[in-house]
Chains A and B, each alone.
Chain A
Amino acid sequence: GAVVSQHPSRVICKSGTSVKIECRSLDFQATTMFWYRQFPKQSLMLMATSNEGSKATYEQGVEKDKFLINHASLTLSTLTVTSAHPEDSSFYICSALGGTQPQHFGDGTRLSIL
């Protein structure tokens, strides 16, 4: 079964809306969670790395105020796309690392901004 749960799987909303995406590790403690963005037929682009209890580390070019990441516990990280616009439409996927396990990925969120 899934070990990382990502919710929601699909969001369609109006421009200007803020959207929150949740990523939960279900049966392990995720010391590190990653957020990726993926355009069609392209690779995953790492947006930010979040460690429980500390501020996220953003990759170059990713706006911190646009993509708010919170990692409040060892099992939950959230990505909030603030004041979303059509150019933010994309597939967002999270992953979690704990111990020596390989990354476990959520099933992704398809975000469509009208």
Chain B
Amino acid sequence: AQKITQTQPGMFVQEKEAVTLDCTYDTSDPSYGLFWYKQPSSGEMIFLIYQGSYDQQNATEGRYSLNFQKARKSANLVISASQLGDSAMYFCAMRERVVFGAGTILRVKS
């Protein structure tokens, strides 16, 4: 069985600062993929970044980067230079059975 754990129900960050959203996972599959999605209050799910378990480097997409520590089974999302528009719910997910974490609500303060 696969499981995703997001332990931060809510986070605050000052505008222009970096923030890390935690995600740990558990799976017995040797090959897997991890995703982060953003869900603004309007409801749509926005794909942010993907990390494959065999990828040699940590994934980066613009201001988003993934701190992937395979031995610790963690895939934390780092958002650099936070913007007001980053305020949303963020979900970590695994591909295989489409398992989602509980989510973290991020609020960016001006």
Measured between alpha carbons, how far is A41 from B44 in the docked complex, in Å?
A: 13
B98 and A95 contact, CB distance less than 8 A: yes
A105 and B45 contact, CB distance less than 8 A: yes
- For chain A, what secondary structure do more than half of its interface residues adopt (helix, strand, loop), or is it mixed? strand
Number of A-B contacts (CB under 8 A): 47
- Count of chain A residues with a beta carbon within 8 Å of a chain B beta carbon: 18
Q: Mark A4-29, 1 if CB is under 8 A from B, else 0.
A: 00000000000000000000000000
* Nearest B-chain residue to A91, judged by Cβ: B43
A–B pairs, 23, beta carbons within 8 Å: A34-B98, A41-B89, A41-B105, A43-B101, A43-B102, A43-B103, A44-B45, A44-B91, A46-B99, A46-B100, A91-B43, A95-B45, A95-B98, A102-B33, A102-B35, A103-B47, A103-B93, A103-B98, A104-B47, A105-B45, A105-B47, A106-B44, A108-B45
